[in-house]
Amino acid sequence: MKLLRFVRSNHPLAYFQNKYLSTTIKLCNESLDVSTPQNQISIVLKKFLPSHIRNFSVIAHVDHGKSTFSDRLLEIAGLIANDPEKPQYLDKLDVERERGITVKAQTASLIFNRGEKDYLLNLIDTPGHVDFSFEVYRSLPICQGAILLVDATKGVQAQTIAHFNEALLGDVNLIPVINKIDVKEANVAQVEEQLVNLFSFDREEIYKISAKTGEGCNAVIDAIINKIPPPESDNDKPLKGFYFDSWSNRVHGIISLVAILDGKVKVGDEIRSLSGKKSYTVREIGIFHPEETKTDVLYAGQVGYLSACVRDDADAKIGDAFVLQSTFDTLKDKDQSELTTMINNLPKIPKPKPMVFAGIFPAEASQSKELKSALNKLVLNDSSVEIETDSSPAFGLGWRLGFLGLLHMDVFSQRLEDEYDSATVITAPSVSYKVTIKGNKNIKQYGKETITVKNPMHLPPENIIAKFEEPWIIGTILTPNKFLGTINALCLSRRGEQLDSSYVDQERILLKYKMPLNEVILDFNDRLKVITSGYASFDYEEAGYQEGNIVKVEFLLNGKLIEELTSLVHKGKSYEYAKAVCKKLKDNLPPQLFKVAIQGAIGKKIIARETMDALKKDVTAKLYGGDVTRAQKLLARQKEGKARLRMIGDIQVERNTFIKILQT
C-alpha cells in the first residue's frame, strides 16, 4: 500500500511530523483502493494533469515579506505548523537565517482543493536583493505566473521595478499583492496608487494581505488558480525535462531541480541531456513537500528533483534539457535541425554577467586542494559565480571569482566557511576593464586588439595601451523628494550623470543616473542609506563600457613593489586612494629595526608617502655621566648601523597584514 501519512498542523505530533517529514512521507503514483483515515492524506501525482498545475514565483524588493508569505501558503496547505518562534521555513541556509535575507530560491509543491478539484501549486520563493537577481531570472522561465509583493509601509522600491520588467519580458502573468496591511504605518491607498501609476494595474486586481496573520491569503490562492495559466505540457509526448538548479551530494553526485516540460520520467529511465556526453540511469526522483519527498514518477508540468549519480556538471547544466536516451538516438539519426529546434524552444535562462571580481586563496597553503573541491561544489549550486585559476606571490595558488555584487561576494565567502569549513582570504574587489593594445607585434602577443583585465597585476605595460575602458551602470533610485539635493550631490561626486527623473506620487521621485561601476560597488548603497535615513532604494543594470582616464597605482616598501596591492583607479581619485592605503600600511605593518618608506606610485611618479620610524634601542642607557661626546659617538654608530640594515633588510609582510589592508 503506497500511502502518504501526514499529521494535520493542529495535531500534537505536528512538530515531529514537520521535523522528520522527508523520512515519513511516501507519495504514490497509482490509484489507491483503500480507505484513508481522516488524519491521513493520499496524493496521487498521476491525477494532476497539466490543467491542474500552476507554477509561480514570489518576487519582491528585499524585506517586503516574500518568505513570510511563502510560509503562510505552506501553513494553509497543511504542511507546517504556525509557530512565530521558528525562523522562515524556506530560508534554509545558515547565512539566510543569520542575516535575515533570502539568498537562494527555494521550491515547494502545495496542494489546494477548489471546487471539488485538487490543484498542484509549485511555489518558488526568490531573493529580493539585486546581488541575487540571477535566482529570479533562472526561476521565472519555468513559471507561468508570479506574485508581485509590495510592502504597504514602504511602497514600490527599485528592485520591485526591476522584477516587474523582467517578468514582463518573460511574458509572465503578474498578480499584484500589497503586504503588511496590519502594520500601523501601512499606507495601502498610496501604495495602490503607485501600482496603478507605475505598472498600469487595475485597482480591482490588486490584493491586500497580511502574510503575518494570514488575512487575505486565501484570496491570493484563488487568484493563482484562476488567473495564472497552466503549463503548456503534454503527458502523451516523449519526455523532455529542463534543468534549472542543482547542488552536490557526496553520495549521489549532482542532484538537479527539474521541470518536466513534456512526457514523464520514472526511476530506472535512461536519460541524457541535449548537450551532454553520456547517458545516466535515474536513481531517485521526488518533489519538495516541503522537504525532499521520494516518488516514482514525475509527470508533465510538474517540478521536482532528480538524482542519476551524475558526476560531471557538463551533463546536467542549468538551462539544458534532458530526454530519454532512445529519443536522443532517434533525433541524432534524423536531420540535426529537429534537435536544434528543440534546443531553441527551451525556456531561456539569461547568462549571468559578473560585475565584481576578487581573488580567493586558502588561509593555509596546504588547504588548496580542499578549497578547490569546496569551490566546485558551491559554484554548482550558485552558477552566477564565474571562476578561473589565479596565483599570487604572497598567497600562492588561488582563484579569481566573479560576483554580481559585494553582498554576493560576502555571502559566498560565508557559505564556504559554514557549509564546507573552508577558511579563505578574499582580496580587495575590483571591476573588469577593457584595454585596447597598439602595435601589431603586441596585438599578436596578447591574441587580440582588445583584452579584458580582471586582475590589475595582469595589465599590459602602459606604453602599449592605446585606450582604457571602464564598465558603467544605469542606477535607479527611488526616494522621498526631500532628499533630492543630497542624492544628486552624492551621485555627482561619484562621476554620475543624471539621465531622468519622474514623480511616482506626491512624495516620492524616481531618479536615473549613469555612473562608473567602480564608484558604486564599494560603499555607494551604504552612503545612500545614511543620507536618506534608509528611505531610498537603489538598483542598477549594466550599461556597457566607456573610455576613462584609468591609471595603475602601485605600492612600494623601501622601493620594493608589493604586487598584491596594485589597483586600477580613476586618475582623479588616485591621489586620495594612494594616501589612504599608505596610511593603512603604516598602521598595520609590524615594527622594523630600520626606517621604512611606504610609497604609492603611478609609474615612476610617487604620489603618496608615509614613513615608519625604526625601533631603537636606548644605547645611552649605560652612560652615567661624563662628556656629552660619548653619547654622540654611540648615537652616530647606531645611525650608521641602521643605514646599513636598511640597505640589506628584507621587509616580511605577513598574510594577516594583507588581509587587514585589502578587506578594509
Binding positions for GTP are 60-67, 125-129, 179-182
The pairs formed by 94-97 with CB atoms below 8 angstroms and a separation of 24 or more are 94/418, 94/419, 95/411, 95/414, 95/415, 95/418
- Coil, helix or strand for 164? helix
Instruction: Quickly count: other Cβ atoms within 10 Å of residue 392's Cβ.
Output: 17
The answer to whether the beta carbons of residues 361 and 396 sit under 8 Å apart is yes
The answer to whether the beta carbons of residues 660 and 654 sit under 8 Å apart is no
Residue from 232, 376, 267, 259 nearest 318 by CA = 259
| Residue set of the binding site | 60-67, 125-129, 179-182
The answer to whether the beta carbons of residues 465 and 548 sit under 8 Å apart is no
The DSSP call for residue 274 is T
Q: Write the burial class of residue 459 (CB in 10 Å: 0-12 exposed, 13-18 middle, 19+ buried).
A: middle
Instruction: Quickly count: other Cβ atoms within 10 Å of residue 576's Cβ.
Output: 11
d(Cα 135, Cα 527) in Å, to the nearest integer?
26
Three state DSSP letters for 435-467: EEECCHHHHHHHCCCEEEECCHHHCCCHHHEEE
How far is residue 242 from each of residues 245, 303, 430, 449, 516, measured CA to CA in Å? 9, 10, 35, 39, 37
- Coil, helix or strand for 359? strand
Place of cell 527623473: 501
How far is residue 9 from each of residues 83, 85, 599, 655, measured CA to CA in Å? 10, 16, 67, 53
- C-alpha gyration radius of the chain: 30
d(Cα 452, Cα 433) in Å, to the nearest integer?
6
Q: List alpha helices for 20-157, DSSP H.
A: 21-24, 66-76, 94-99, 133-139
The answer to whether the beta carbons of residues 521 and 405 sit under 8 Å apart is yes
d(Cα 279, Cα 309) in Å, to the nearest integer?
11
The pairs formed by 221-224 with CB atoms below 8 angstroms and a separation of 24 or more are 221/73, 221/76, 221/112, 221/114, 221/121, 222/114, 223/175, 224/54, 224/56, 224/121, 224/145, 224/147, 224/175
Helix orientation angle between 406-420 and 368-381, rounded to the nearest 10 degrees = 120
Residues in Cβ contact with 544 at an 8 Å cutoff, skipping those fewer than 6 apart: 471, 472
Residues in Cβ contact with 203 at an 8 Å cutoff, skipping those fewer than 6 apart: 192, 196
Taking the C-alpha atoms of 217, 64, 506 and 204 in order, what is their torsion angle to the nearest 10 degrees? -20
**What are the cell numbers at 598?**
611606504
d(Cα 444, Cα 117) in Å, to the nearest integer?
68
d(Cα 521, Cα 429) in Å, to the nearest integer?
8
d(Cα 367, Cα 89) in Å, to the nearest integer?
34
**What are the cell numbers at 373?**
573541491
